[in-house]
Structure 1
Amino acid sequence: METISSTTLKLHSPLPTHRLAGRVALITGGAGKIGIETAGRFLREGANVVLVDNNASALEAALNVLREAVFSGELVCSRLLTIKAEVTDETQVEECVKESVKQFKRLDVAFLNAGTGTVVGSEESACWETGLEEFERVMRGNVRSAFLCLKHVAAAMRDLGNGGSIILTSSVAGLHGSPGHIAYSASKFALRGLALTAAEELGPYGIRVNTIHPSRVETPMFRNSCSREKMEELRAAIPLGRCAQVDDVASVVDFLASEDSKFMTGGFLKIDGGSVPF
Structure 2
Amino acid sequence: MAAKSLGVALVTGASQGIGRAIAQRLAKDGFRVALNDIPKKEQELKSVSSEIEQQTGSKPCIALADVSNESQVEQMVGEATKAFGGLDVMVANAGILHENTKIVDLSAETWEKVFAINARGVFFCYKHAARQMIAQGRGGRIIGAASIAGRRSGFEHGAYGASKFAVRGLTHTAAAELGPYGITVNAYAPGFIASPMTTGMTTSALANYGFITPENFKFGEPKDVASLVSYLASKEAHYITGQTVSPNGGVYLN
- TM-score between the two structures when normalised by the length of structure 2: 0.90
Q: What's the counterpart of residue 48 of structure 2? A: 62
CA distance in 1, matches of 2:109, 2:118: 14
Decide whether aligned partners of structure 1 residues 220 and 35 sit closer, same or farther in structure 2, where only a CA change above 3 A counts: closer
CA distance in 1, matches of 2:115, 2:203: 27
Map 1:80-229 → 2, pairs under 5 A: 80-118=60-98, 122=99, 124-219=100-195, 222-223=198-199, 225-226=200-201
2:88 aligned partner, one-letter code: D
Q: What's the counterpart of residue 229 of structure 2? A: 253
Q: Report percent identity of matched pairs.
A: 36
Q: CA deviation digits over 1:118-169, x for unaligned, max 9?
A: 1xxx4x2222221111111111111111111111000000000110011101
Q: What's the counterpart of residue 29 of structure 2? A: 45
3-state SS in 2 of match to 1:208: strand
Asked if structure 1 preserves the Cα contact closer than 8 Å seen for 2:96 and 2:197, the reply is no
1:25 aligned partner, one-letter code: A
- Count of residues in Structure 1 that have an aligned counterpart in Structure 2: 246
Superposition RMSD on alpha carbons, in Å?
2.0
CA distance in 2, matches of 1:249, 1:275: 15
CA distance in 1, matches of 2:225, 2:238: 19
1:272 corresponds to 2:248: yes
Decide whether aligned partners of structure 1 residues 238 and 105 sit closer, same or farther in structure 2, where only a CA change above 3 A counts: farther
CA distance in 2, matches of 1:104, 1:110: 14
Q: CA deviation digits over 1:89-131, x for unaligned, max 9?
A: 111111111111111112110110011111xxx4x22222211
CA distance in 1, matches of 2:83, 2:46: 19
CA distance in 2, matches of 1:239, 1:96: 43
Q: What's the counterpart of residue 5 of structure 1? A: none
User: Could you tell me how far 1:38 is from its partner in structure 2?
Assistant: 1.4
Decide whether aligned partners of structure 1 residues 251 and 238 sit closer, same or farther in structure 2, where only a CA change above 3 A counts: farther
Asked if structure 2 preserves the Cα contact closer than 8 Å seen for 1:238 and 1:273, the reply is no
CA distance in 1, matches of 2:140, 2:196: 33
CA distance in 1, matches of 2:129, 2:179: 14
2:31 aligned partner, one-letter code: A
- TM-score between the two structures when normalised by the length of structure 1: 0.83
Asked if structure 1 preserves the Cα contact closer than 8 Å seen for 2:15 and 2:37, the reply is yes
3-state SS in 2 of match to 1:53: coil
Q: What's the counterpart of residue 10 of structure 1? A: none
User: Could you tell me how far 1:241 is from its partner in structure 2?
Assistant: 2.6
Decide whether aligned partners of structure 1 residues 220 and 158 sit closer, same or farther in structure 2, where only a CA change above 3 A counts: closer
**Unaligned segments of structure 2, at least 5 residues:** none
2:42 aligned partner, one-letter code: A
User: Could you tell me how far 1:66 is from its partner in structure 2?
Assistant: 1.8
1:22 corresponds to 2:32: no
Decide whether aligned partners of structure 1 residues 134 and 112 sit closer, same or farther in structure 2, where only a CA change above 3 A counts: same
Point out the structure with max Rg over C-alpha.
1
Asked if structure 1 preserves the Cα contact closer than 8 Å seen for 2:203 and 2:217, the reply is no
Decide whether aligned partners of structure 1 residues 160 and 134 sit closer, same or farther in structure 2, where only a CA change above 3 A counts: same
Q: What's the counterpart of residue 7 of structure 1? A: none
